[in-house]
Amino acid sequence: MPFIQVTFIEGRTKEQKERLIEEMSKTVSSVLDAPLETVRVCLNEIPSSHWGIAGKSIQRRQNEE
């Protein structure tokens, strides 16, 4: 049973997340020759204040722009 985890900064629409789940599931099913029913997807949305690059949160970096 393939299990896919995707981590990204929050802010995507419900429709975008639904499409991501659908497309990733189809692709993994095809590439791994696994039944679509066995593919699992977990989306981890992270607040921009919880994700850092080069010593600063993304939220802080955006505020400094």
pLDDT tens digit string along 43-64?
Answer: 999 999 999 999 999 888 888 8
Strands 52-53 and 56-57: antiparallel
CATH superfamily of the domain spanning 3-64: Macrophage Migration Inhibitory Factor (3.30.429.10)
Selected catalytic residue, list 1, 2, 31, 54: 2
8 A C-beta contact, residue 43 and residue 3? no
| pLDDT exceeds cutoff 90 at 2 | yes
Residue 35 is a catalytic residue = no
Query: Phi/psi at 51 (nearest 5 deg)?
Result: -125, 125
- Return mean pLDDT, the chain: 95
pLDDT tens digit string along 29-38?
Answer: 999 999 999 9
| pLDDT exceeds cutoff 90 at 26 | yes
The secondary structure of 8-60 as a DSSP string is EES---HHHHHHHHHHHHHHHHHHHT--GGG-EEEEEEE-GGG-EETTEEHHH
Query: What's the pLDDT at 65?
Result: 83
